[in-house]
Chain A
């Protein structure tokens, strides 16, 4: 079993802070700043979960995902949100990204960290329909992109593991 870094390890603390700071950017839909926290070769993936028998050996839909993104496609999504015609989020949703159960693991070298977290997204739109929840786990690869003293971590890879096979959210015009 992999041993996570101790909670008082500075690398864990920096990784945890990265995720919390990011959650505030995502809550505020400050996507321009969020893009700057991603490496240029970022991969951002959210497989489709499926119900399979125990022992089937898989629980995601082969060859299909909700998100399977690189910097270009993420940038296009962000650019769209910034137009005056992105009705899906105009008026904007009220968002709260709850991030918890953070564990950090040493990467292959000093410039990489593996970080696991649990996330609950609360999303409320308008005043009639019920709010929506999205529960997922995340596995992130952070890469050091600045001097060690500053932290300077960026997100190089994220796998988002949805806990529902049928999403109870009208779209994913949000990031997780």
Chain B
């Protein structure tokens, strides 16, 4: 295994890591049990009593807004015999009652009902009811309404875990003081390893002109022509990185309009993005596209043409989780996100743009998954153990970059950024992966 991690760190990826039960067992033990794992967004549970049930690998959690408005994550297992106390995936409830013996819990997790407490336990003398709660998630925190669980009670604070990547998260999840609302997720299973999607969204500008050629052929998306794509910058900042497109000349407003934002939204965006965040678009000319936050949370922002009759493009945002099922299977959870304060017509058009491009029916996504399933299947054989996949794009043999990093005045965001095709971000993601596993 030591050799494996050394290979990964120099950008030569043992192909079997994309379909290897032993590696997956290690990921469960050392990665998913320690990192901050995305479980949902606060806007999914807007009212008191609203809940969704989400998994971190094999562990089910009730994410609920209690009757006082607090958001909690509670392990979905009855304290008595271990039955799931909530078997719906969403709804509104003041209480959760275990179907096995009828123990019931308030939506803040407190045990309130215990049938025959006196007769069976001798009352509080035998079993003190007060103070008993469903097990809280060891660590639970949010950023811009994005909810994360860590199974490690000693995990570093979420803010520190995300670090400078928060700068970029704001582009996707803070476009006004009200924040985003999310819808979904669409959920479906693909026979592909979870890392492939995470890597792809983190920095794979190189696949866009080829994998997604059909999208350009039909005029749905005007940007991914090969020449244009490599003019974009990729950036990596602490626990995440992503891709951008280079936009035509113009200032901040002009460029936001170019991708389809109406003026009233641009006005609100200017109120909440820092001057430095605005400078990435307005001065440097880069517009965020796909991104990944380690380990398995990704984002995408694109601007297709959504109506036949006009040439106007519309931006959409998707948040997606690559939920690992096994070494060779992933449940994709794909949400549509839009600024809560956006005009209703914009929300409708943006939703339509999302459905056409990403998600279970998305025309971009369809072709991606075809590749990832094929890759995963092939990685399960014995020959894959003899193959090191070359993930050194953008590096010369002495590890110096083919294209130098952008100076701060050309890219105002934190971290390292560069233009041109490269696999810097995929390597950064897998280096983190190696650090957690080793």
A contacts, CB < 8 Å to B = 46, 48, 50-53, 56, 61-69, 72-73, 75-77, 79-80, 83-89, 128-129, 165-173
Interface set of B (CB-CB < 8 Å, partner A) = 87-93, 183-192, 210-215, 217-218, 220, 306-308, 331, 336, 351-352, 355-356, 359-361, 363, 365-367, 369-371, 373, 377
Q: What residues of chain A lie closer than 8 Å to B306, measured between beta carbons?
A: 73
**Complex: A89 Cα to B361 Cα, angstroms:** 13
| A6 nearest CB across to chain B (Å) | 37
Contact for B366 among A69, A75, A88, A128, CB less than 8 A: A88
| Contact status B89-A50, CB under 8 Å | yes
Asked if B89 and A52 make an inter-chain contact with CB atoms under 8 angstroms apart, the answer reads: yes
Provide the residues of chain B in CB contact with A69, threshold 8 Å: 355
Which of B89, B185, B356, B369 is A64 in contact with, Cβ under 8 Å?
A: B185
Query: Are A61 and B183 touching (Cβ within 8 A)?
Result: yes
Complex contact A128–B377 (CB within 8 A): yes
Contact among A51, A83, A170 for B190, CB-based, below 8 A: A170
Q: Are the CB atoms of B88 and A80 closer together than 8 Å?
A: no
Give the residues in chain A near B87, CB-CB below 8 Å.
51
Cβ 8 A contact of B91, one of A56, A84, A128, A168: A56
Chain A residues lying within 8 Å of B218, measured Cβ to Cβ, are 76, 79-80, 83
Whether B366 and A67, one on each chain, are in contact in the complex, defined by CB atoms closer than 8 angstroms, is no
- Docked Cα-Cα span, A137 to B198, in Å, equals 34
The smallest C-beta distance from A164 to any residue of chain B, in angstroms, reads 9
Residues of chain A within 8 A (CB-CB) of B191 are 129, 170
Contacting residues, chain A, for B93 (C-beta < 8 A): 53
- The tally of CB-CB contacts under 8 A between chains A and B is 131
Given contacts A48-B186, A53-B91, A64-B183, contact A73 B356 (CB under 8 A): yes
B88, A52: Cβ atoms closer than 8 Å:
yes
Give the CA-CA distance A97 to B352 in the complex, in Å.
Answer: 27
With contacts A51-B87, A52-B90, A52-B91 taken as known, whether A165 is within 8 angstroms of B367 at the C-beta atoms is: no
CB distance from A23 to the nearest CB of B (A): 19
List 5 A-B pairs, minimum CB-CB distance, nearest first: A88-B366, A85-B213, A167-B188, A63-B183, A85-B214
**A173, B351: Cα distance in complex, Å:** 19
Min distance, Cβ A64 to any Cβ of chain B, angstroms: 4
By beta carbon, the residue of chain B nearest A48 is B186
**A85, B217: Cβ atoms under 8 Å?**
yes
5 more A-B residue pairs beyond the given contacts A63-B351, A165-B89, A170-B192, with a C-beta to C-beta distance below 8 A: A53-B93, A68-B351, A80-B218, A167-B189, A172-B361
Q: Shortest Cβ distance from B346 into chain A, in angstroms?
A: 14
Find out whether the CB atom of A169 lies under 8 angstroms from the CB atom of B188. Answer: yes
B-chain residues with CB within 8 Å of residue A169 when the two chains form the complex: 188
Question: Are B185 and A76 interface neighbours, CB within 8 A?
Answer: no
Known A-B contacts A73-B356, A76-B220, A76-B363; A166 and B370 likewise in contact (beta carbons under 8 Å): no
